[in-house]
Amino acid sequence: MLKKAIAVVTSGGDSPGMNAAARAVVRTALYEGVDVYGVHNGYSGMVHDDIEQLTSRSVSDLIQRGGTFLGTARSKTFMTPEGRKTAYENLRKRNIEGLVIIGGDGSLTGGSLLSKETGMPIVGLPGTIDNDVWGMDYTIGCDTACNTIVDAINKLRDTASAHRRIIIVEVMGRHSGWLAMMSGIAGGAEYILVPEVAFDLEEISRELKEMYESGKRYSIIVVAEGAGSGVEIGKIIGEKTQIDTRVSVLGHIQRGGSPTVEDRIKASMLGEKAALAIISGVTDVVY
């Protein structure tokens, strides 16, 4: 059955391309004659009734912008049955009959609970720089984040070479090493440490020392935050090798920036697909 009104929400950690996806959801739905509402500040806004009707102009000048114009926040209240009931009531009083959720595993799980408890149809889009949503080959924002990291590695290599240093680059990824692996390969790192694979710092330190003794000028080691603290790993390697070792924790810079072409196009395609799906009655799927 065709919907009369739908809503779109961005939840959890922001990722470049969320704006492009939300823009596509809004404009596709409006083209199909369906009203669209935007939920501000994630599930927190859904609970606190921070919801506004959107127009085509509401999403202009967005495709090139990082972050999310809707805002995002985590909500402990939404994770309770009472909170989800309140969120549902705030949607239904606007005659909203379907919800598009853009976010990571936690956000999509929250949407699934809302759907099971209230019957609200939902369609999810994977939005996280970690690229760690189960069953997905791609998540919105991962390509931009990877490019941001590689750009940082390129700059760090210059100074590492000048001073014959070891540079430890800590990147995001609490449970997944995808960002570290892909950026490390593209950035030419000597070692890539990820939470999925065991590693021996004693052996790594021995190999590094041998390389420097044979004339190597610098080394780049990319560490996913879930594999261990970059600062602690740098301290251990520095002590064992007696080579000047510095640590760069990239932090939230990885989440920002204008989306790459890949993220803009894929996010737009996913947004269109999600809007058409939820309007036509599809529910409980992630694209």
Instruction: Please tell me whether residues 111 and 212 are part of one structural domain.
Output: no
Domain containing residue 268: CATH number: 3.40.50.450
- Helix-then-strand count for the chain, H and E: 9, 10
Q: Are residues 136 and 270 in the same domain?
A: yes
Judge if 274 and 135 occupy the same domain. yes
Q: Are residues 53 and 135 in the same domain?
A: yes
What lies within 8 Å, CB to CB, of 35 at 6+ separation is 4, 5, 6, 29, 53, 95
Same domain for 174 and 97, yes or no, is no
Tokens of 62: 């967005």
Asked whether the predicted pLDDT for residue 235 surpasses 80, the reply is yes
**Domain count across the chain:** 2
263 and 132 in a common domain: yes
pLDDT the model gives residue 152: 98
Q: What is the pTM of this model?
A: 0.94
Name the residue range of residue 46's domain.
5-141+259-286
User: With 80 as the cut, is the pLDDT of residue 1 above it?
Assistant: no
The residue among 110, 256, 237 whose CA lies nearest residue 172 is: 256
Confidence of residue 74 (pLDDT cuts 50, 70, 90): confident
Q: What is the pLDDT of residue 61?
A: 96
* pLDDT value for 178: 98
CATH number for the domain harbouring residue 209: 3.40.50.460
Neighbours of 198 (CB within 10 A): 8
Residues 74 and 149 in one domain: no
| Enzyme catalytic residues | 130
Beta strands in the chain (DSSP E): 5-10, 35-39, 51-54, 99-103, 122-126, 166-171, 191-193, 219-224, 245-249, 285-286
Does one domain contain both 250 and 229? yes
Token digits of residue 221:
């080691």
Q: CA 146, CA 131: separation in Å to the nearest integer?
A: 10
Contact yes or no for 11/140 (Cβ under 8 A): no
Q: Based on the domain organization, do 158 and 181 belong to the same domain?
A: yes
At residue 44, does pLDDT exceed 90? yes
